[in-house]
Amino acid sequence: GANQNLESPVAPSPRYTGQVVDFSSEGKCPACTREASQVSLSTKDRAALRSAILKLAAASGPSNLQSVASFSRWLRRKAREGHHFDYILDGANIAYTKQNYAEGRFSVVQIALVKHHLEQLGAKVLVLLPQKYCGSVVPNHIRRKGKDRKFEMVELDEDEQQLLQAWQETNQLYSVETGVHDDYLWMLATVANEQDRMQNLTRVVSNDLMRNHRKWLLNSRDFLRWRFTQVVHFELSHGIEEYAPLPEVVIFEPPPFSREIQRTEHGWHIPLCAAASSLAQDSDGLASKHLWSATGGVEFDDEAPGEDEKLEASRPNDAADAPSRVDESEDPVRTSSMLGSYAAMRDDLKRSWLCLQAT
């Protein structure tokens, strides 16, 4: 009887004070002075993505699975040898950017420019390229606005051949076997090793928004977290042309913090503005929303030849009639548009947060 009606003490629910704020560009809250962070995949989620990629490769045929598994072993061996790649370049995607005009062609030099830009920043870079583009004569697939694909075999010039040879000799080029989807490999590279610290994440440089893979991999939230933190978009001021100056390279690094609900030491940060869109509210994520508007409804895949129709750009319903590529040869404002859209995305990220602090 003495123990009847005895209950464990219940801790009182905390009380919070709230303030709507705009963060700094780096994610610092002016109310509590805490900084928001990038929300990346957990170790468990990274393992789930690795498994999903292997299952997807297996479903595509034994050659795909064998090649993906072989690449995974190669990456682990390199890691044991102390080699860490900061960036994987989606080589075909970069080589065809701004080349969709009558004289356009697959450009190894464009890959070299992006690679050099990152290396100047101290990064270790691996180029991933389908085997058919690693020889002296390569297929050339371009599509001009309102016209059919153009296909031809072209011979790489001597400089381009020497670049490929130099990358191969220094283990900076990985050749993807014919018939194997190279995007499986660069997706796997971003989660191949345990990389818990944000600064050690391997990122892929590509303008592929990967809508055609999302449903097969992770749930929407985790897929977008991965893409937001590890897929880096790029832009060239213009495509490589004979007698023209070399283009400038712009790399759109992921912003330093994610627009997601985040717990702080004494409270919470909660994104509010529906127009700016959090990852949970926006099915395509902030980065892709602004990239889409900047490119005028164009999603960049890689070369997208006939045998790789799965790499065709998937477009929203309201742009179903848009061409999957555009004639970019006379578009001097596109780079400034991309820069403006990226700045707008960064501005959206910091707007309208609710800072809750326990009292």
pLDDT tens, position by position, 288-324? 544 444 444 434 334 433 333 333 333 333 222 222 3
What CA–CA distance (Å, rounded) separates 246 from 120? 16
Alpha-helical (H) ranges within the chain are 43-59, 62-80, 91-96, 108-120, 158-169, 182-189, 211-214, 220-230, 285-294, 334-350
Give pLDDT, residue 33.
Answer: 94
Whether 149 has a pLDDT exceeding 90, the answer reads: no
Contacts of 239 (CB under 8 A, 6+ apart): 97, 98, 99, 101, 104, 107, 110, 247, 328, 329
Q: Which two tokens stand for residue 55?
A: 């299952």
Element holding 269 (H helix, E strand):
strand 267-271
Write out pLDDT tens, residues 265-293.
889 999 986 544 433 344 444 555 444 44
What CA–CA distance (Å, rounded) separates 223 from 128? 22
Domains and CATH numbers, the chain: 14-38+255-273+338-358 (no CATH), 43-254 (3.40.50.11980)
Q: Is 336 helix (H, G, I), strand (E, B) or coil?
A: helix
Write out pLDDT tens, residues 341-351.
778 878 888 88
What CA–CA distance (Å, rounded) separates 321 from 160? 36
Residue 329 in contact with residue 101, Cβ under 8 Å? yes
The backbone region for 158, taken as left when phi is positive above 0, alpha when psi lies in -120 to 50, beta otherwise, is: alpha
Q: Which two tokens stand for residue 287?
A: 């980065």
What CA–CA distance (Å, rounded) separates 47 from 182? 20
- Sign for the pseudo-dihedral over CA of 269, 273, 277, 282: positive
Give pLDDT, residue 341.
Answer: 75
Percent of the chain with pLDDT over 90: 34
What CA–CA distance (Å, rounded) separates 69 from 151? 31
In this predicted structure, which of 13-17, 154-158, 318-322 has the lowest mean pLDDT?
A: 318-322
**What is the rounded average pLDDT of the residues 179-197?**
79
Express the helix, strand and coil content of the chain in percent, nearest 5 each.
35, 20, 45
Q: Which residues pair with 128 in a beta bridge?
A: 90, 174
User: Which backbone phi and psi does 155 adopt, to 5 degrees?
Assistant: -95, 130
pTM confidence score? 0.77
What CA–CA distance (Å, rounded) separates 97 from 120? 21
Residue 233 in contact with residue 346, Cβ under 8 Å? no
**What is the rounded average pLDDT of the residues 212-232?**
76
Whether 86 has a pLDDT exceeding 50, the answer reads: yes
Whether 26 has a pLDDT exceeding 80, the answer reads: yes
The larger pLDDT score, comparing residue 330 to residue 216, is at 216
Element holding 102 (H helix, E strand):
none
Whether 122 has a pLDDT exceeding 90, the answer reads: yes
Q: Which two tokens stand for residue 175?
A: 């050749």
Distances, alpha carbon 322 to alpha carbons 295, 297, 314, 331, in Å: 12, 7, 10, 17
